[in-house]
Structure 1
Amino acid sequence: MADSRRTDADAGRGAPRNPTKDQGVLVIGLGRFGSSIAATLDRLGQDVLAVERNPDLVAQWTGRIPLVEADAVNPDALEQLGAREFPVAVVGVGSYLEASVLITGNLVDIGVPQIWAKAISSEHARILQRIGAHHVVLPEADAGSRVAHLVSGKMLDYIEVEDGFTVVKMRPPKETQGFTLAQSKVRERYGVTIIGVKSPGIDFQYATPETRISANDLIIVGGHADLLERFASRP
């Protein structure tokens, strides 16, 4: 499935291929962040093209994902590899602030509809947002916040959706074990909603008032982060 491209603006390998419009994702930078995104998208069958200027990284990933060796700081290189044809671009270059800003600006200039950019600090994030990045990700800060929630209680996974609304996977507090949701009245008492239950050896089930929770279950719970923390702190 993997292939590669070449641009005249920077020495590369292979020949251009036409991305599938409305589906293709352009990933610039094959560090840990960018390579993880590109490899996962490729594994999921998405049309992805990675762009990397470091020959060592290009050699490492050639034959594994579709890629081209090019310097995306050069706007001509982006034009020649067809960057404007992609509806989504990810800028995985974070450690080099100038390159990150220039690449993001190039993508804004050619009108890429959705631009995701990695930032390494809040100041970096503000710059990317001001020049037109639609989504800015701070992987280390986000991971640190997520892990802090996980180590502080029964939570096994934590996803903040928006405006404080969060979904978590956790072990059920003792006061819910052996009772149906109607009996334990979790929503009334804690302001959170048990969305579903995964019992050992049984497929995930959406929760109903008649759903009975056992000690070995995993529960999926949604609600405001503060209320979820209170619920997860129960013994």
Structure 2
Amino acid sequence: MGNYLHSLRKRRRKREADQHTQLGDQRVAVIGLGRFGSSLAHELMSRGWDVLGIDTDAHLVQKYSDALTHAAVADCTDPEVLRQLGVNDFTSAVVGIGTDIEASILITSNLLEAGVPNIWAKAISRQHGQILERLGAPHVVLPEHEMGERVAHLVTGRMLDFIQFDDDYALVKTVAPEVVTGMPLGESQVRSKYGVTVVGIKRAGEDFTYATAETVVVRADVIIVTGKTQAVEAFAELS
């Protein structure tokens, strides 16, 4: 198993290097046209991408066929099917299957074996995500978990929006607490006192703009703050 995973990762790295000049390729295969896959496919189409939508459910394929560049009824757990559909030549693919974990793993494995460099695989649990990561999937997303965590932060705090990244780092949109109002940000010493950085500011009736050391924050301003998750959470709770 270890040698097999190493082989998959080696092929993926080689294909990624070979296709480095094709990063402008705006084609993507979306495998699985459930709520997640179909929503993603529509968003990609709206951004001008060519989308090949694939599902084993003929009803779903028929439902979305007019909205996508191409659509096909196919079982991508068979690597030969991917080859016949031309997915092996794509630089981007999304595995949107969640309910059938075995199919998700097999399809991700097939895409890795084919050397598709940019693969996003949906996981329905942390365990599922760990399997996909160990397999070598470059990008694993847990939409339900991540959205639940995000909404929990919004419900329980003063944040207007919350996005968490890797390595315990987060970005928060919040109403400016009083401790940073009425003076330039450089004088408020936000970074040294609270361990966060104010990177953007929005005043009522105005657009968002970059924050600088000379920016003076006033009451009711909305600010964008970055830093370690615990630090931005604590800062957003200041009154």
Range of TM-score over shorter length:
0.7 to 0.9
2:147 matches 1:154: no
SS class of match (1:109): helix
SS in 2 for 1:123: helix
1:23 to 12, 23, 26: 26
CA contact under 8 A between 1:94 and 1:100: conserved in structure 2? yes
Partner Cα separation in structure 1 for residue 221 and residue 28 of structure 2: 38
- Residue 71 of structure 1: SS of its match in structure 2? coil
| Matching residue of 2:148 | 144
Normalised TM-score (structure 1)? 0.86
Length-normalised TM-score, structure 2 = 0.85
CA distance in 2, matches of 1:181, 1:20: 39
Number of aligned residue pairs = 217
Aligned partner of 1:99: which letter? A
Report the alpha carbon displacement of residue 144 of structure 1 after superposing the two structures with TM: 1.6
Alignment deviations for residues 36-61 of structure 1 (CA, whole Å, 9 cap, x no partner):
11111110012221111211111211
- Alignment of 1:126 with 2:140, yes or no, is no
Residue 145 of structure 1: CA displacement?
A: 1.5
Structure 1 residues 111 and 26: alpha-carbon distance in aligned structure 2, compared to 1, 3 A threshold: same
Deviation at 1:127, TM superposition (A): 1.8
Letter in 2 for 1:96: D
Letter in 2 for 1:65: L
Give the alignment's Cα RMSD to 1 decimal. 1.8
User: CA–CA distance in 2 between the matches of 1:89 and 1:152?
Assistant: 36
| Aligned-pair CA distance for 1:99 | 1.1
Give the one of 38, 42, 56 matched to 1:39: 42
Q: Measure the CA separation in 2 of the matches of 1:216 and 1:28.
A: 45
- Whether contact under 8 Å (1:198, 1:218) holds in the other structure is yes
1:1-235 paired onto structure 2 within 5 Å: 22-66=25-69, 67-235=71-239
Higher helix residue share: 2
CA contact (8 A) 1:26 1:51 kept: yes
Q: Which 5+ residue runs of structure 2 have no aligned equivalent? A: 1-21
Q: Percent identity?
A: 49
| Segment of structure 1 superposing worse, 46-55 or 24-33 | 46-55
Which residue identity does 1:61 align to in structure 2? Y
Q: 1:224 to 1:114 in 2, by over 3 A?
A: same
Q: Please list the CA deviations of residues 134-172 of structure 1 after superposition, one character each: whole Å capped at 9, or x if unmatched.
A: 111111111122122222222111112221121111111
For residues 110 and 200 of structure 1, the distance between their equivalents in structure 2, rounded to whole angstroms, comes to 51
Task: Tell me, in whole angstroms, the C-alpha distance in 2 between the residues paired with 1:153 and 1:127.
Answer: 33
Letter in 1 for 2:132: L
Per-residue displacement from partner, 1:158-209 (whole Å, max 9, x unpaired)?
1122211211111111222333213322122101010010112212211112
**SS of equivalent to 2:220:** coil
CA deviation after TM superposition for structure 1 residue 20, in Å: 9.4
Amino acid at match of 1:40: E
Deviation of residue 21 (structure 1)?
Answer: 6.9
> More deviation in 177-186 or 45-54?
177-186
Quote how far apart the aligned CAs of 1:222 are. 0.7
Gaps of 5+ in 1: 1-18
